[in-house]
Structure 1
Amino acid sequence: MTVVVRNMLMKRMLIPLLVLSLIAVTIGVLAASNLAGAAEAAPLPKFDIPAVSAAHKSSPLPNVIVVATGGTLAGAARDGDKTNFQNYAAGTYEMKDLVAQLPVHKTADVSTYQFGNKGSGGYTIKELYDLSLAVDAALAIYDGAVVTTGTDTMEEIAYFLDLTVRSEKPVVVTGAMRPWDVIGTDGPANLYQAIKVAGSNKTKWFGTVVMLNDVIFAAREVTKTNSHRMDTFDAPMFGALGYVDDPAVRIYRAPARAAKAGTPEWKSPFDLKTISKDSLPIVEIAYNYQEAGGGAIRGFVEDGAKGIVTAGTGAGGISSKMSAARKDAIDNHGVVFVSTTRTGSGTIYDSGSGNTIGGDNLNAAHARMMLLLSLAFTNDVHTIRDWFTTYGTQDVEVSVDSETVLTTSDEAVTKELVTTR
Structure 2
Amino acid sequence: MRVALFALGGTISVSGGPGRDGGVPRLTGAEIATAVPGLAEAGMELDVRDVQAVPSASLTFAQVLDVVAAASSAVRNGALGVVVTQGTDTLEETAFLADLVWPHEAPLVFTGAMRKPTLAGADGPANVLAAVRVAASDRARSLGALVAVNDEIHAPRWVRKAHSTSTATFVSPNAGPVGHVVEGRVRIMAVPPRHEPLPLPAEPFAAARVALHCVTFDDDAALLGTAADTCDGLVVAGFGVGHVPSALAPVLGTLAERMPVVLTSRTGSGSVLRNAYSAAGSETDLQRRGLINGGMLDPYKARVLLRLLLATGAGSEEMAAAFVRHG
TM-score > 0.5, shorter chain as reference:
yes
Q: Please, what TM-score do these two structures have when normalized by structure 1?
A: 0.70
Q: Which residue is equivalent to 2:295?
A: 360
**Counterpart of 1:116 in 2: which secondary structure?**
coil
1:131 CA drift (Å): 2.1
Residue 79 of structure 1: how far off its partner (Å): 6.7
One-letter amino acid of the counterpart of residue 360, structure 1: G
What CA distance in whole angstroms lies between the structure 1 residues aligned with 2:60 and 2:250? 31
RMSD between aligned alpha carbons? 2.1
Q: Choose 1 or 2 for highest CA Rg.
A: 1
Structure 2 partner of 1:132: 68
Aligned with residue 187 of structure 1, among 114, 118, 124: 124
Cα distance in 2 for partners of 1:194, 1:91 equals 24
Is the 1:71–1:90 contact (alpha carbons within 8 Å) kept by the matching residues of 2?
A: no
Task: Specify the alignment match of 2:244 in structure 1.
Answer: 318
SS across alignment from 2:252: helix
Structure 1 residue 379, shift from structure 2 partner: 4.5
Report if the CA contact (8 A) 1:225-1:233 is conserved: yes
* Residue pair 1:222, 1:233 contacting (<8 A) in 2 also: yes
5+ unaligned residues in a row in structure 1: which ranges? 1-61, 81-87, 258-265, 394-421
Alignment partners' CA distance in 2, 1:210 and 1:185:
18
Q: Partner of 2:279 in structure 1?
A: none
Q: Which residue of 1 aligns with 2:281?
A: none
Listed as ranges, the matches of 1:204-283 within 5 Å are 204-257=141-194, 266-268=195-197, 270-272=198-200, 275-278=202-205, 281-283=208-210
Give the superposition deviation at 1:381. Answer: 0.9
The separation in 2 between residues aligned to 1:267 and 1:135, in whole angstroms, is 18
Taking the TM superposition and a 5 Å limit, the aligned residue runs for 1:82-101 are 92-101=26-35
Counterpart amino acid of residue 56 in structure 2? S
Q: How does 1:10-409 map to 2 (within 5 A)?
A: 62-78=1-17, 92-103=26-37, 104-141=40-77, 142-257=79-194, 266-268=195-197, 270-272=198-200, 275-278=202-205, 281-303=208-230, 305-331=231-257, 334-349=258-273, 355-390=290-325, 392-393=326-327
Q: State the shift of 1:243 in Å.
A: 0.7
Identity %: 29
- Secondary structure of the 1:317 match is coil
- C-alpha deviations, 1:274-304, integer Å up to 9, x for none? 623357511121001111122332343332x
Q: Distance in 1 between matches of 2:89 and 2:294?
A: 22
Cα displacement (A) at 1:353: 6.4
The SS at the match of 2:139 is coil
Which amino acid is 1:126 matched to?
A
Q: Specify the SS of the correspondent of 1:168.
A: coil
Q: Which runs of 4+ in 1 moved over 3 A?
A: 88-91, 349-355
Per residue, is there more helix in 1 or in 2? 1
C-alpha distance in 1, partners of 2:102/2:155?
Answer: 14
Amino acid at match of 1:123: L
Amino acid at match of 1:372: R
Q: Cα gap change, 1:187/1:321 in structure 2, threshold over 3 Å: closer, same or farther? A: same
Query: 2-side partners of 1:131 and 1:187: how far apart?
Result: 20
* CA shift in 2, pair 1:246/1:379, >3 Å: closer
Structure 2 residue runs of 5 or longer lacking an equivalent are 275-283
Counterpart residue type for residue 87 of structure 2: G
The amino acid across from 1:128 in the alignment is V
Residues 64 and 143, structure 1, Cα contact 8 Å, conserved in 2: yes
1:238, distance to aligned residue in structure 2 (A): 0.5
